[in-house]
Structure 1
Amino acid sequence: MKKIFTVFFFFFLTSVLCQKVELKKVTDSSQVFKGDIAGIPITIQLHFAGIADCSLYQYFVDGWYYYDKYQKKIPLTGIYDYGKLSLYNFGSHQKPNSKKLKEKITSPQTVEKANEIIQSLSPKEYIIFNQSDTRENIIHGNFYLDKKVQPAKLFTGNDMIYRYNNYLILPHHKNINTFDFINQHGGNELISYTSGETGNRVLLYFEHSSNLNACGRCGASEGEKGYRVLYFTKDWNYKNYEEFLIESCLENIYDTAKTKSGDQQKLQYKIKKSDSTPAHTLTVDIKNASVVKSK
């Protein structure tokens, strides 16, 4: 009987531990991309090398690329500009011209003229990848060398180098990154999670900047704050999420009143009328990992 109880307890404990959910924050400042030039496989490694002015959508990158067959690294410097990735090799003048590039490009206006400025530095070769509007995980571009143009590709749907990753570690060896399906701002905190007849739920609280461009609208604000409820199947396959703002520069939501229940398991927020929503109440149930919106 003791053996049976021990075995039962082991499987019960294993089942409980398998249901654990965690959130890990990892800020990436470098990326490795696979791609090709004229059908020949290449590898590119790039790292964040500073902001041109005030936007995390516009910044310098440094790194290298090589043809996979030879693996001889060719140095690169360039600019990430709202998804457009421009990479340059200046041959024997790589270091001084890379420095001149960063000295000449100091604002969004000069970023727009980057190619003109860089051409005056006589690059030996360069690769331009344009922002992809397609849903396929390929970013198309061109490779330029000795007045010849060859097609180039990156085998990814996102060529952003600086990333605020928030990884949700889920049961059954599954994990998802909020960077990929919510937004690029990160700032999530795991509050609770629960299971029900229709599936599983995860409750997140978030605080993040309103705009990664500090010069743009709400760029200098305290940010967006609120809750997200993520919905999963019983097997922890992601379905969708809902977002509930309690403070927002973008939506003009301020002066929210907050109250707590006696057991601290329920929070209530009185949201005033905003630019896009009427006045309403949010009830956050921490124990059940849910948020209810009411008038």
Structure 2
Amino acid sequence: MKKTFTLFLLSFFTLCLSQKVELKSVTDSSQVFKGEITGIPITLQLNYTGIVDCNQYQHFVEGWYYYDKYQKKIPLTGVYDEGDLFLYHFGNKQKLQTAALKEKITSPRSVEKTDSIAQKLRPVESFIFKRPVSGHDISGTFILGNKSQQAKLYTKNGMIYRYNNYLFLPNNKKINTFDIINRAGGNTLVSTASDGSGNRVLLYFEQVSNFNYCGMCGASDGEKGYRVLYFTKDWNYKNYEQFLTESCRENIYDVTSTQSKDAKTLKFSIKKTSTSPGYTFTVDIKNASIIKSK
């Protein structure tokens, strides 16, 4: 009887643990890609090595690639530009020409001329991958001397620097807000709740308004607010709603807020802007829900 009761407790605690929702933030500055050159398998690794000027989506990368059959690493240097990848191998002058390339690429305007700048440094090998078409692997060109060949990376996202927010869900499920919401991260877990309609996860977020700090809202403190993520009863993701408490992009400032005595509900009043009428919304922390009203 004692053994049976012990097994019951273990099963109970295992079930409780399996139902826990957790959020883990992981910033990646290195990516490994599998791909091919005219059908020959390759592996490519790239590391973020610094922003070019003021746009996080334009940065320098360094790394290597090898043919899977031989696994001899061939060094690469280049630029990630809004989804485009320009990568170069300069033979025994790799370090020297890498420094020269960085010296010449100092602004968004020079980023646009990356390949013409690199070609003057006489690369031995080059990869040029264009930003992926939605839902497709990344296609590009491999150039060796005067010969061009088709190349491909088996991924639909070529970003090197990534703000990942992993939500670990019951039933051994995991999602990344990078994939389903946006690439800016900045989420923190507030609460979870379940009812007959399914499961909900309430997040608070603070993130930059624009990764291009030279662009619109690039110097702002960022976007702030709450998100409710909706799931089915067995934790399949459905959609999310977002409610801003501060936003440069939406011109939302000077928001007034109040909270209940038990701090379980928060009410925010958003003033009228030039593009939208005023409204209020109430955050119910216990029920992981938000109700919007005029």
TM bucket, shorter chain: over 0.9
TM-score by length of 1: 0.97
**Who is 1:288 aligned against?**
287
**Who is 1:148 aligned against?**
147
Between 1:2-11 and 1:150-159, the stretch displaced more is 2-11
CA distance in 2, matches of 1:248, 1:277: 13
CA distance in 2, matches of 1:131, 1:146: 24
Aligned-partner SS, 1:65: strand
CA distance in 2, matches of 1:185, 1:275: 26
Q: Superposition pairs for residues 88-237 of structure 1, below 5 Å?
A: 88-136=88-136, 138-237=137-236
* Total equivalences in the alignment: 294
- Structure 2 unaligned segments of length 5 or more: list them: none
Counterpart amino acid of 2:233? K
CA distance in 2, matches of 1:23, 1:275: 36
The answer as to whether partners of 1:225 and 1:247 remain within 8 angstroms in 2 is yes
CA distance in 1, matches of 2:2, 2:91: 75
Tell me how far 1:2 sits from its aligned partner: 6.2
TM-score by length of 2: 0.97
**Who is 1:15 aligned against?**
15
Between 1:11-20 and 1:222-231, the stretch displaced more is 11-20
Counterpart amino acid of 1:121? L
Aligned-partner SS, 1:239: strand
Aligned-partner SS, 2:12: helix
**Who is 2:53 aligned against?**
53
Aligned-partner SS, 1:179: helix
CA distance in 2, matches of 1:146, 1:8: 69
CA distance in 2, matches of 1:275, 1:15: 51
1:239-280 residue CA offsets vs partner (Å, 9 max, x unmatched) = 111111111000000000010001100000000113443100
CA distance in 1, matches of 2:173, 2:201: 14
**Who is 1:86 aligned against?**
86
Aligned-partner SS, 2:76: strand
**Who is 1:242 aligned against?**
241
Alpha carbons of 1:21 and 1:92: their partners in 2 closer, same or farther (altered >3 Å)?
same
**Who is 2:26 aligned against?**
26
Tell me how far 1:4 sits from its aligned partner: 6.0
Between 1:7-16 and 1:53-62, the stretch displaced more is 7-16
CA distance in 1, matches of 2:2, 2:274: 65
Tell me how far 1:15 sits from its aligned partner: 2.3
CA distance in 2, matches of 1:134, 1:13: 43
Tell me how far 1:14 sits from its aligned partner: 2.6
CA distance in 2, matches of 1:135, 1:78: 25
The answer as to whether partners of 1:251 and 1:275 remain within 8 angstroms in 2 is no
Tell me how far 1:68 sits from its aligned partner: 0.2
Aligned-partner SS, 2:32: strand
2:292 maps to 1:273: no
Counterpart amino acid of 1:39? G
Alpha carbons of 1:52 and 1:196: their partners in 2 closer, same or farther (altered >3 Å)?
same
- Structure 1 unaligned segments of length 5 or more: list them: none
1:191-210 residue CA offsets vs partner (Å, 9 max, x unmatched) = 00011111110000000000
CA distance in 2, matches of 1:38, 1:250: 44
Aligned-partner SS, 1:228: strand
CA distance in 1, matches of 2:5, 2:112: 70
Alpha carbons of 1:104 and 1:4: their partners in 2 closer, same or farther (altered >3 Å)?
same
CA distance in 1, matches of 2:134, 2:211: 23
CA distance in 2, matches of 1:218, 1:239: 30
